[in-house]
Structure 1
């Protein structure tokens, strides 16, 4: 297993869809981007990534993420692209396609909200199951990045995925980890042994993508 590996990981959320505007749970439904509503955010993301050079790109295999990647124009010639199902949104099961008012009186939905996503959704996933597939993906990055020379990686994914990555790398509360559509986070990561001798990813810095206008250098 690789140790003392340094990786810059940029994770961005897909652009706006009709279900985002309608505040429906999308989950793993293959909902496309909504135009022209999505265009402003996508163009801002394109500008933010215009001078970036990634060694590898991973994208959720759902259409809205692939569309976002195409608009961002970050996939330069020769950069390997992997469609990665493990970067899909949380599987919302029976909640997919529904809005809050349709669910608010259901006991299992109230219990799920009160658990801060830890309970398994009927017909779907729990937060722990989402974390498990993200852990598996990050483990594979640690294995593959040194051999491939990948030190700067882009991941085009979903809001729930970025929330869980922020909880992991920034130790945020569940409700504080959200990002808007066509925005994301940049993490400087080190893969090394912790105090217990276990190899793991550790974060040395985090920042917004696109960078905040009032951010200090």
Structure 2
């Protein structure tokens, strides 16, 4: 999600302008630095506080404030924007209200996606897992923990080898490495194993994996 970072000084003038701020508001730094912060906000209805003054005032008095205000792009387009504001004071220098801003529709999209993923991990009867590039557990659901016979917390930060007794000569690890190196996702491959939490029970699992980094553009890893 694109996030704008900017700073507003004691006179409510823009004093810091991060790259994301240009993308969100349309101004190059030379066009907005030292200008009134009010230029970034849509006009307030008559009788209501100036949005920029309200933002900086709340950031200074509350220490940290978040909320939504109508913003304005350089082309004049108004849009609903989510803001987070907090006061920063340097050694012997004036205070600055640092501001993080994102379009409200983007914030809503992320919240919806997170709510869906939380519900999926909580209720899905299929085992779901996220692994980092070293095949350590980052996230898994209760269904997979039940298959392994060990709690979710016991998995986190540990390697898959610690939970699976394999007799495939390392083929499972090679399969995951191949996916990470640009190979096609694995879909519905049958893998035989014995979970360490159920040492007397052989299992055959149908597994599917895809590279997580290609899906979200973040840290390397796998989901399956």
**TM-score (structure 2 length as normaliser):** 0.21
Structure with more relative contact order (C-alpha pairs < 8 Å, separation 6 or more): 1
Query: Normalising by the residue count of structure 1, what TM-score does the alignment of the two structures yield?
Result: 0.21
Give the structure with the larger strand fraction. 2
